[in-house]
Amino acid sequence: MLDEPLQDRAARLNDRYRHHAAVEVLRRAVNDPDLGRVTLVSSFGAESVVLLHMVSIAAPGLPVLFIDTQMLFPETLEYQAEVAAKLGLTNVQVVRASDAEIARNDPDGTLHQFNTDACCDFRKTIPLERELSKFDAWITGRKRFQGGQRTELEFFEPEEPSRLRINPLAHWRAQDVQEYMIENRLPRHPLVAKGYPSIGCAPCTSPVKPGEDPRAGRWRGSAKTECGIHFIGGKMVRGKVPA
């Protein structure tokens, strides 16, 4: 029923999956005809390995979109290769801006210094949207405990005009994430041990002090809290995707 209004479909799916655990939400969702073509979008960041592990068990051939902004920490690129190999993920697709887009928007690599939204838009949002246009739903690792706009997350949410987002870990606590990684002996991102509980691009991510919010190191010193790929309802308007 992919022609059903998104709000109605999300509500029906949330009702259907309301009492399912995260693993079951993901396992069933990747094969649910009401969701159509599904992909996982992963940053291969601090907690990404949890969903990647679940996918490796439920559907190792599922498309995994990895956004390479070309400003990531070297440790993230190494970790991405390590995790994909260890978990046997066979369909990791690297998403990045084209050389022409970089030459046009940020030829000297300094855009982030004076316009972080514009930098995120052309390095993350537009390239990702180009790939997501091929899918009917995408899996995210967002969780309510991360706060901000995420506090009311449900398993399924509409993304106008024609796509759903799946948040299998929406109801997990921080300790649930850590316990899952320990129980399954999953490799940790090397920067976590160096004080980076949330990891983005190198120029815009800093270590977090004890007692600070885990995302305090993202765009420190600014009001920015999201890169833009997770905004709904006009909080950040996606640019037109070049053909």
- Asked if pLDDT for residue 52 goes beyond 60, the answer is yes
Closest CA to 199 of 82, 40, 43: 43
What's the CA gap between 199 and 205, in Å, rounded?
A: 6
| Structure token pair of residue 177 | 């994430």
Is 227 labeled as catalytic in the residue annotation? Answer: yes
Range in 40-44, 172-176, 201-205, 209-213 with the lowest mean pLDDT: 209-213
- Asked if pLDDT for residue 105 goes beyond 80, the answer is yes
Q: What share of the chain is helix, strand, coil (3-state, %, to 5)?
A: 40, 10, 50
With tokens 């005809």, the residue in question is 33
Express each pLDDT in 138-155 by its tens digit.
999 888 776 565 667 889
Catalytic, out of 119, 120, 204, 227: 227
List domains and CATH numbers for the chain: 6-204 (3.40.50.620)
| Structure token pair of residue 158 | 């509409």
What's the CA gap between 236 and 208, in Å, rounded?
A: 26
What's the CA gap between 23 and 42, in Å, rounded?
A: 17
- Asked if pLDDT for residue 181 goes beyond 60, the answer is yes
